[in-house]
Amino acid sequence: MIRGNQVYWTDRYPTAETGPVTPTPLLTPSTLDLDGVLRAAEVVARHLPATPSWSYPVLDRRVGGRVVVKHENVQPTGAFKVRGGVNLAASLTPSEVRRGLVTASTGNHAQSTAYAARLAGTRAVVVMPTSAPAVKRDAVAALGAEVVVHGPDLGASAAHARELAERDGLRWVSPGDDPAIVLGHATLHLELFRVHPDLEVLFVPIGSGTSAAGACLVRDALAPDCRVVGVQSAAAPAAHDSWRSGSLVSADCRTRVAGLATCAGYALPQSVLAAGLDDFVLVTDDQIDAAARVLATDAHTLAEGAGAASLAALLARPAAPAVSAIVVSGGNASLEELASLARG
Ligand SMILES: *Cc1c(COP(=O)(O)O)cnc(C)c1O
């Protein structure tokens, strides 16, 4: 819900995990505004250096315009989501720290929640489906979280995680509907726009939409003429469909691109994207793979699929903007994924 550029947040919003519920009156005004982002940036800067954003002449020539590449693949967890985790850790109440965190995820959100718990000196329980590869369980366990394997898919894991939250009083960490996470993710765009206030278009990969929502908040304040364009895989268009229809909808999620495989829209980021996002484009998984190859050759960068989606959208345009930016949001690609890129 948006009034001016203040977003009002209630924890009674429907979420992708719970499905639609009846909206209740607004509870707490949140700080989803630039001040909130600036406070999050102070927290994040205490733990993580700013990531580089620069251009590569070979890529610029291929695209036909200058492309600023924002490198979140160099984060300690391999993706920007650690920013949300760091900010979340700082926003926990003493009682939440006593009780611990719980979430369900196989990917970068799981690592970010584990990182947050370690930083806050509390426990994290991460529920993963039986299909999650051992390497993903190991990455989360290495950060000190307890991995619970439950259910055939992420929906079943999330339901179990909610039960654990209820039973053990753990703090549920939603991958999309948490203001501390949106503000933490927004710090990546604050770094970008501070160094490059002249951007015409910023392409942001979207799963739940937290990062793109953060981009809109910062753009409004620092670079109002820049267009923010969201990018999703056509094989998992729930956020796209939600944005286009102005309501939270579910959709197929058959994409190979794990970081973008959300199956329903998330209320909090969508409430910002509704007015903030300038366009939302879909690209195919094959276009994303092709973009990942371009990043490897032109930008010496190994991205996971989600991290290559922004470039896929830029390459799909008939004409390139004079100055645009892409977010290489993560680099957690498995050896199999890298091998298939090399073969392609
Ligand atoms: C989570 C994720 C995304 C999508 O971000 P949202 O904030 O969920 O929209 C994109 N890329 C990577 C690498 C991710 O881990």
Q: Which residue has the tokens 């299909």?
A: 131
pLDDT in tens, 123-138: 999 999 998 888 889 9
Spatial distance between the Cα atoms of 170 and 95, rounded to a whole number of angstroms:
10
Round to whole Å and give the CA distance between 201 and 313: 11
Predicted confidence (pLDDT) at residue 20 exceeds the cutoff of 70: no
262 CA from centroid of ligand 1 (Å)? 10
Residue 277 CA, ligand 1 centroid: distance in Å: 16
Share of the chain above pLDDT 70, in %: 91
What was the pLDDT predicted at 8?
36
Q: Does domain 81-172 have CATH number 3.40.50.300?
A: no
Ligand 1 pocket, 205 CB below 6 A? yes
Q: Ligand 1 centroid vs 100 CA: distance in angstroms?
A: 24
Q: What's residue 153's pLDDT?
A: 85
What is the side-by-side strand order in the sheet with 201-205? 53-54, 66-71, 323-328, 201-205, 227-233, 279-283
Closest Cα to atom 4 of ligand 1? 207
Q: How far is the CA of 206 from the centre of ligand 1 (A)?
A: 6
Collect all residues with Cβ–Cβ distance below 8 Å to 129 and sequence separation of at least 6: 106, 149, 150, 151, 152, 153, 154, 156, 157
- Cβ contact 324:203 at 8 Å: yes
Nearest Cα neighbor of 344 from 314, 319, 308 is: 308
> To the nearest whole number, what is the mean pLDDT of the chain?
91
Mean pLDDT over residues 190-206, rounded? 98
Is 210's C-beta closer than 6 angstroms to any atom of ligand 1? yes
CA distances from 186 to 36, 50, 133, 213, 218 (A): 9, 13, 30, 7, 7
Both tokens of residue 241? 């469909």
Instruction: Enter the pTM of the model.
Output: 0.90
Tell which CATH architecture fits domain 34-79+179-342.
3-Layer(aba) Sandwich (3.40)
**In testing the pocket of ligand 1, which one of 70, 72, 81 has its CB within 8 Å of the most ligand atoms?**
81
Confidence of residue 281 (pLDDT cuts 50, 70, 90): very high
231 pLDDT more than 90: yes
User: Tokens 């926003």 appear where?
Assistant: 91
Q: Is the pLDDT of residue 336 over 60?
A: yes
Q: Where are the domains of the chain?
A: 34-79+179-342, 81-172
Q: Can you tell me which atom of ligand 1 is nearest the CA of 81?
A: 15
Q: Tell me the two tokens of residue 221.
A: 């304040």
Distance (Å, rounded) from C-alpha 271 to C-alpha 266? 9
